[in-house]
Amino acid sequence: MKIKDILQEKRTVSCEFFPPREEDGIPAVFRAIDRVSAFNPDFISVTYGAGGSTRAFTERITTQVKQDTDLEVMAHLTCVAQTKDEVQGVLERLDDAGIENVIALRGDPPRGEAAFVPVEGGFHHATELIEHIRAHFGFGLAAACYPEGHTESPDLDWDIRYAREKVDRGADFLISQLFYDNRYFFDFLERAEQAGINVPIIPGVLPILNTAQIRRFTSLCGATIPAELDRQLEQYADDDNTVRELGIEYATNQVRELWDEGVPGVHFYVLNRSYSVSRILSNLNLPGHTVPD
């Protein structure tokens, strides 16, 4: 089923996983998917790596989930390091496998490279990929948005202009980059409305697992860690268990507030670590996403 149609019927809970580097890591991904399945997510998604074998694993996991489980699935696809013809090939395989949903992204540069450089004959921006998919396929389509602005956007007006462009070219809904201060998301919703963006905007939530990792992630994507949270992360920087508990409590409160404000869904960046998301969903007790005792 297309996620845009699910969103017409209900508020969604979704979970994002990533493909392993090596083939023998695939069963662990399925175990993580299996564990969160107990909470009846409305869809799951699998990220698309910067190159190499992980991309084939993304296709494989996405296809297998679609064909062997009751879960709805969304494939991530990026413009990194492939020509339009190669992207077309991926889309044809996804379509042949019965995948109905794609999130179209430009992608981050491969590790060690500072900036995104399109290959000759490749797409330059997510907007071009969205346009291509709309012209040739019937997939339900999502795109990314950035409550605090994308790091390459010179200002927030620029950023919202291209968010709008993604919708104009065919994105059915947007999923946000992670953030830790809900005010950024609510401000973004206001700016999006003013810019005429009228599709569902789903907040992306990453439960904090440890201090070093979250500092790295937020510095890469430009998300702000609120001062009090930052102080606690510093205090327990050497104690991952405490930070994980803190992350569970923080994300529970964050999602509760988002949900109470009426967001159309919530998208968890699971990072293949199902424990925190399972605890958060248990705490939240959202209708349709509880686990029987």
Shortest Å distance, C-beta 39 to ligand FAD: 19
- Kindly tell me which of 144 and 277 has the beta carbon lying closer to ligand FAD: 144
Q: What is the distance between the alpha carbons of residues 95 and 287, in angstroms, rounded to a whole number?
A: 32
Q: Kindly tell me which of 80 and 233 has the beta carbon lying closer to ligand FAD.
A: 80
Q: Using CB under 6 A, list all residues that contact ligand FAD.
A: 47-48, 50, 76, 78, 103, 105-108, 125-127, 144, 150, 152-153, 158-159, 162, 175, 177, 204
> Is 16 in the active site?
yes
Shorter beta-carbon distance to ligand FAD: residue 125 or 244 = 125
Q: How far is the CB of 237 from ligand FAD (least distance, A)?
A: 26
Q: Pick from 223, 219, 158: which is nearest to 185 by CA?
A: 223
Between residues 66 and 106, which has the closer beta carbon with respect to ligand FAD?
Answer: 106
Smallest gap from residue 31 Cβ to ligand FAD (A): 21
Query: Which is the catalytic residue, given 16, 59, 148, 165?
Result: 16
Smallest distance from the beta carbon of 153 to ligand FAD, in angstroms? 4
**Active-site residue list:** 16
